[in-house]
Each structure stands twice: as C-alpha cells, then as structure tokens.
Structure 1
C-alpha cells in the first residue's frame, strides 16, 4: 500500500467475492462522511496486512476509512444474506450498514476482507439509516481486539473513524465507522439466502467458493461438501468452547451472525460474566435466554443444522440419494457435541492446571463451577486465583466465594488430583497463567470508556483500556482496578445491540 504522487491511496486489493455472480451482492459505494476524523488506527494489524499505516492515517486514507472516498482497486459492495433472528427466519437481510471495500493478502498469505461498518444505506437497509453510533463502534473495537489477544478466532478492528454526522437512536449520538477485518464475511445466513430461493446452483457456487477460500483440504476429499460441513462444524465447536472458557457471551447468535470461517463475528450486546451463573444473559433483546451462557453450544448446534439444510441438495447429489444425503448431514451434526465437549474439557483442564486427561476430571470442573455459581464467585478471578494457589503463593481464590468453605472442600479433591501429575508447582502455575487471563473487557470498564468518548469526547479511557487488554495474561503493578469486578453501583446488567 502506498500514496501516489497525486495523493491517491493505493490498497493492494484482489477482490474475489466481487467476481462472483451479481446476485450474490449489490454494488454500492459507501456514503460520504461530512467531517471524517481518525479516532484509532490499529498500526500492528495494518502492518500484518501489508498496509502502510502512515498512508492510512493521511487525509486521503482517513477519507477511505470513513467511506467518503473509494480507494484505488476497491470494488465496494454489500453482501446478500438471509438469517434466523432469535429463531424467526428472514429471507433477505444483507449488509444493511456495511460495505465490503475489497480483499487483501496479508503477510501470512491469508486473504482478508476489509469492510466498513456504519458506512450508510445499501439496498439491504430496509428501514435503517445504515449508520453506526460511536459507542457500538468502540465496543466492537475493544472486545474484538481483546478476543484476538486471548487467542480466540475473531474479526479484527483496523480503524475507528468519527464521521462528523449525528446518528438518531433513542438519543442523538455521534456517528462513526468501524473498519473491520475478517478472513471473510460468509455466514450461515449467506447459504440460507440461496436456499430460500431454491437456487441450488447459487448454493453450489457459494460452497465451492467457501471451500477454495477456507477449507481447501475439502476440495480433494471424495465427498467435498460433506468435508466442508465437517470443517465448519469442527471450527464452530472449538470456537464456542473457547468462549465458554473465558466467560464470554456473544448475546446474539443468529444464523446471520455465525461465520463460515469459524471466527467470532458481530459484537453487539456481547459481555463477559463476572459473578458466575450458567444461565447469565446480558443482551437487552434476549428476553427468553435463547443465547444465555450455557445455551450457547445448543444455539450453535441449531445454527449448524440450518447450514446442513442448505447443503442437503449437494449432499444428496454426492451421496447418490436423498436418504443417504440426509444421513450424511445428520452424521456431520452429531460430531458437534463430541467435538465441543472434547475442546471444552481440554481447555478447562488446562485452566485448573491439569496436563493429562483422567477419569473424573470433568466432574471436578463441574463441581467447581457449581460451587462458584452457588457462591457468586467471579469467573475470571477465581481461575486466575487458582494459579497462585497452585504455586502455593496465595489463598485469595477462596475469598471469591460467599462461603469460603465451599472452595476449601473442593480444594481437597483438586490437590489430590494435582498430586497425580509430576510437575513443579511453579511450572504448573506458569502454564495456568497463560490460560487464565487477569484482564478482560469487564462490562463496566467498557461502558465507562464509551461514555467518556461519547459524552465528553475524551478517548483516553478507551486508549488505556486497549493498552491493558493488549497483554491480558501478565499481571502488572498499577493496573489493579482493571482486574476487579464492578462495584454494585457500576454493575452492568444489560447490554445493547447498537444498531
């Protein structure tokens, strides 16, 4: 990426999705932002993508990131997709406030989408204005980058830009645009869009594209579409297991928010658990708890069943019959539970300091979680406290429990299990510290940073929080407040989608 002598910013786009048939998207340019101003540029991510951060921060670059100008090589478009929203199917959703500028090949050889979110109306906007308010943009920036530093597959945030334009919601809010990076924006809902129209060839074209881009090993399989479905199931099983290990609740796991690539996508009313409860819900629109903490694996399995439905014509064809194709889909879906449980159990064993699997380990973890729930123990601090307990350097973890004796009883069984593995205590604790973060995007800290930016135009709390979360596993002096749960007056019980 460079700036030419004429001042034009050149991004090295190679736009494969724009070469698909026209019914896959609508060609539309982003709307002009009246007064774009750069809030935050992710310099490290820009470098990993082979982009020149200095050029992106130039007036021309900021204009592109705000949607006011179309960069050289960009072929802006809004992607078509459908989706189940809280169980209700909508035949046409699509990018109602997003614009895919194009794709670049990162230094790692991987193809990445560069998309603007909040860049104005598209043919898929329905009654929406296509804009994004500053608060939701900064929320997605904070949480997506925190997830990346904690090793969770996720979309990334390249830039946040103020538009200088008001956005009208319940109140008048400052507008902003997020530049989002993903290995692609294909969703379960993208497949549902063609399935709803009985467009089998569209489904085949989309599946072949997804295989070539995300699952190239499936292209060489004897049953390519079954191999593709297997691949998506496996990635999503691992992804949800990682969410559960961190106490992360997505909040709006609709099929249009479920990525084919296995990345966390669409951070709306997401939040992190503090006092552990298996049925925790934060999302203000999830009235029935459909996407509660403990229901996330069930919701994902349901979403994957909807993907399997769209692939049935292809599965039936490659299996040589309707019943055989249906059996193939069921067999793929049955693997989700097995793979999710395996990934979750492995991760939770690591969190409590166990290296090898033994009978009774799952029950040991479940017993701890039950005691945490009964005693309102903080999820993150309890597991972080186990690190010190394993090293024999502190007993702060028992103070997390309303009744410390509840932990004491569990600790006896835990230490007996640890004794079955020969490992120096400090080495064990070091491994645990690499698994159990001390800093997460606690809801009250995120909300405080957003209020400061929105109400006072003070972005320092946003910057400070990002700096802390850039290294979530290393405890640092002077940052104690970032590790603490909310005080009663700070507690955030509801989060909002922001659309």
Structure 2
C-alpha cells in the first residue's frame, strides 16, 4: 500500500477565529472503505492509496487543519441565529490540477460545538444517497459538490431505529453559504464580515468590484443552477439559506429527489409540510434566498440607503434571469437551439399535458428525441395536436433537433426507488446496486440495454412518497 499524499493549502483556516472551531474528528470503531473516487482524487492531486482511517476521521493527514464552520440561516423561512457544521469537519483545501481551490470535508465525523445535542454522526443511507446523487449531478453537467470517499464506521447510529454508520468525504469549491454571511451580519461582526467578503471574492469572483457586484454575480450563478435543476426534474428539498452556496454549486443532498411523474407541486421532503420547496417553488425560493444575502451584505457598503436600492434592483432582476435560463434549458429539451419568447407557451402546453397525464418527466423528454413520445401520454389526441405545432416550430431550426435533445435529455437519473433499494441492500452489507448505479449514472446520456431496469419508472408498489434528512 502506497502512503497517500494530499497537497493541502488551507486558506479558510487563516480567517478570523470566530468563523470556525478547530478540532479533530471523533474516531470510529472499525472503518472500512466502501468507495473511492479515483478520477476525482487525480483531479485534486491526491496520490497514493486511500486509507480508511483518514476518511473515517481516525487519523489526521499531514497538512490538514480540521475545523467546523460557523453559519446561521433561515430554515423553512424561520431565522435560526446559529447553525454550523454539527456533524462535519473541513479537513482543509487543495488547489486542483486546473488551479481551482477545493474543500475536502468529512461528513459524519462526530460532534462539534454546533451539533445542537446531535450525535455528529451519519447513517449509511444518507451517505450513499449523497455519494450517488452528487456524482450523478456532476455527470449531468450541473454544478455540484462531489463525493471522494465513503467509509463504513463499524458503529451503529440511532435514528428511528439503529442503523449502520458511515462517513462521507465531500469535495466542494467552498462551503461558504448565504448563512455564513448572515451570522456575521446578525452579530454585527463587521471586521469578520469584511474578511469573509474578501476571501469569497478572491476565491470565487476575483473580478468583482464591490458587494453589489458580488450579489449580482451570485444571483446569475444561482439562476442558472436552479434552471438546471428544473430541467432534469430535481427537487432539492431543503433550500434553506444555510444550504445555498455562494459558489453556485448544489450543496447538501438531504431529502432531495428526482421526479418520476411530472407534477409542478411535487414535494418529497418529509419535513416540507407546506410545500415551500416544491419543484416549481424553487425559482421563487432562490430569489428569497438572494434577498437574505443582500441584507447580509449591506453593512459592507458605506451608504446604506444607496446600497439597499442597488441590491433591491439586483434581486428584483433575478426573475428575468431565471426565466431566460429556464427558457434556454427547456427549449433545448424540445430541440430548439435558438429560443424565442413565444416558445415558453409551447413548452408550457407540453408540461400541462404531462401533468394531466402523469407522464414520466425524464422518459417523456427522452422519447421526444427518439420520436416515440406519444406512448407517454394518456390523452394521445391532445399530444398529437401539440406535436403538430411543435414540428412546425422545429422546421424553423437549422440544426438537428433530435441530436440536440439526445444530448440534453438524460436516459437515466437516480430514481428514488432504486436509491431506496440500494440503501436497503447496503444496510445488509450488499453494495452491488450502489456500485452498479454509480457506473450507470456516470454516463447519463447513454442507454445500454443492460441498464433498462434502472431507467424504468417505479411500479405502484415501488413509489417513494417521502425522503428524509440524514440527521
């Protein structure tokens, strides 16, 4: 076994101490490696063989500066003045082979001062869910945190019942959240807020001129991100401000899910009892989250009235960004490379038919590219009428619509019922489906016959009605 080297170069650890708590992970009983993402490790400049002791938190690698990050946040619209990494530790950062700085974080590494009476541990199921879904999102081309390793802890965690424990190693462009800015603004820690702002600009937006410009850039990235979620039927499930990264990456795969049947009001999260984070509500929520970021940035500008006016204009303009990003993504899904404003109505009509007929979101768009979407609809006469208008519109395109559709509409997504089957098997020690899903989802636009069962929507008795947080 070749000793592993991680080329740490830690910058967050040099920020004011009030932004984090330095500590080591709590060792686990018997760590054993489930998965190691060798291609990602190569990107990060990590050499040598993975040591389960490191990725379980039992050993601190040379150069690491482990710490739990502080943040606050609005959870389902309600302000919580202190949150933070209650079961995670930032081991440190590396500069990858493309010159991008990346965080390496352990999730499930034990209690911290921010645990709020939690055990600081993670169950195997949520660890495997995040591994599979985050890597699937990456393969789909959607900005996301990544999974570097998954390790069984050899211990049980107590949730509704005893469950096998695990630790996930997550990689992110950073873990700076809207809530990271919120906690400092709420505590009027202006010096620390300024340091965090400078760090964020240097790390993610080096050409930004001032906090208003930063807000504008973040809103642009978030508008694109949410449009990408919507285009693949993804529901984050818990879009609290502490789960909203300034990098523009998808972060925190708790009660997330991909829709099977299309329903704009679809909610899976067991804790989202009022549908705040339903599929179609996500565009409104991200605007609300950006308004909270704007509020947290106001203390950084000398003229408060002018700052509020400028930031209000940025937030109010986000609706146009979202509509444009949505139109671009969904036009491509129906083969239109050059969107026009009137195309929104054509897309809307299709999705109304999908909703009325409970059509499968992923398979319907994929079938459009193959030319056999009619079978996805219960009201086939209504689809025929829409298809006629659609084909007339496609005659005005100069490219191959089918080729475009097959490159943007995935053949396979992480189906909720397959995720649950994977977790149930893994809890019994069988990781076969976990590895099979990862392999299939790594090439989401391919459709080999061997993966047909993974592409199939759930049967009535396989449907997953609710997804759960890992805490």
Q: Same fold (TM over 0.5)?
A: yes
How far apart, in 2, do the equivalents of 1:314 and 1:333 lie? Answer: 17
Residue of structure 2 equivalent to 1:29: 24
- Asked whether the 8 Å contact 1:10–1:73 carries over to 2, the reply is no
Residue of structure 1 equivalent to 2:119: 129
Residue of structure 1 equivalent to 2:360: 378
Q: What whole-Å deviation, never above 9, does each CA across 1:67-116 have from its counterpart, x for those lacking one?
A: 00101001100000001111111111100000000000111110000000
How far apart, in 1, do the equivalents of 2:71 and 2:452 lie? Answer: 44
Residue of structure 1 equivalent to 2:458: 486
Shift of 1:428: 2.4
**Is structure 2 residue 386 aligned with structure 1 residue 410?**
yes
Shift of 1:493: 0.9
Q: What whole-Å deviation, never above 9, does each CA across 1:459-492 have from its counterpart, x for those lacking one?
A: 0011011111010001112211111100001000
RMSD over equivalenced CA pairs, Å:
1.1
How far apart, in 2, do the equivalents of 1:250 and 1:328 lie? Answer: 29
Structure 2, unaligned runs of 5 or more? none
How far apart, in 1, do the equivalents of 2:91 and 2:426 lie? Answer: 27
Which among 329, 353, 366 is matched to residue 348 of structure 2? 366
Secondary structure of the equivalent of 1:161? strand
Which among 397, 401, 404 is matched to residue 421 of structure 1? 397
**Matches for 1:163-202 after TM superposition, within 5 Å:** 163-202=153-192
Q: What whole-Å deviation, never above 9, does each CA across 1:139-170 have from its counterpart, x for those lacking one?
A: 00000000000000000000000011110111
Size of the alignment, in residue pairs? 471
Shift of 1:402: 1.7
Secondary structure of the equivalent of 2:461? coil
Deviates more, 1:351-360 or 1:101-110: 351-360
- Asked whether the 8 Å contact 1:100–1:115 carries over to 2, the reply is yes
How far apart, in 2, do the equivalents of 1:200 and 1:433 lie? Answer: 50
**Is structure 2 residue 355 aligned with structure 1 residue 355?**
no
CA gap of 1:465–1:330, structure 2 versus 1, over 3 A, is same
Shift of 1:199: 1.2
How far apart, in 2, do the equivalents of 1:107 and 1:461 lie? Answer: 32
How far apart, in 2, do the equivalents of 1:10 and 1:364 lie? Answer: 54
Secondary structure of the equivalent of 2:105? strand
How far apart, in 2, do the equivalents of 1:344 and 1:120 lie? Answer: 40
**Matches for 1:83-102 after TM superposition, within 5 Å:** 83-102=73-92
Q: Which runs of 4+ in 1 moved over 6 A?
A: none
Secondary structure of the equivalent of 2:307? helix
**Matches for 1:391-406 after TM superposition, within 5 Å:** 395=372, 397-406=373-382
Q: What whole-Å deviation, never above 9, does each CA across 1:175-216 have from its counterpart, x for those lacking one?
A: 000000000000000011101101122211111110000000
Residue of structure 1 equivalent to 2:437: 465
Deviates more, 1:399-408 or 1:138-147: 399-408
**Matches for 1:212-361 after TM superposition, within 5 Å:** 212-218=202-208, 221=209, 224-315=210-301, 317=302, 321-361=303-343
Q: What whole-Å deviation, never above 9, does each CA across 1:290-338 have from its counterpart, x for those lacking one?
A: 00001001111111100000111223x1xxx222111011011122111
- Asked whether the 8 Å contact 2:56–2:109 carries over to 1, the reply is yes
How far apart, in 1, do the equivalents of 2:383 and 2:454 lie? Answer: 24
- Asked whether the 8 Å contact 2:5–2:46 carries over to 1, the reply is no
Which among 396, 408, 431 is matched to residue 404 of structure 2? 431
- Give TM-score scaled by structure 2 length: 0.98
Structure 1, unaligned runs of 5 or more? 390-394
Secondary structure of the equivalent of 2:292? helix
Residue of structure 2 equivalent to 1:392: none
How far apart, in 2, do the equivalents of 1:251 and 1:421 lie? Answer: 37
**Is structure 2 residue 5 aligned with structure 1 residue 10?**
yes
Secondary structure of the equivalent of 1:366? helix
Q: What whole-Å deviation, never above 9, does each CA across 1:268-292 have from its counterpart, x for those lacking one?
A: 0000111101100000000000000
Secondary structure of the equivalent of 1:261? coil
Shift of 1:35: 0.5
Q: What whole-Å deviation, never above 9, does each CA across 1:417-469 have from its counterpart, x for those lacking one?
A: 0112233xxx3212211100010001001110111001x21000110111110
Shift of 1:359: 4.1
**Matches for 1:45-60 after TM superposition, within 5 Å:** 45-52=40-47, 54-56=48-50
Secondary structure of the equivalent of 2:126? helix
- Asked whether the 8 Å contact 1:233–1:335 carries over to 2, the reply is no
Residue of structure 2 equivalent to 1:495: 467
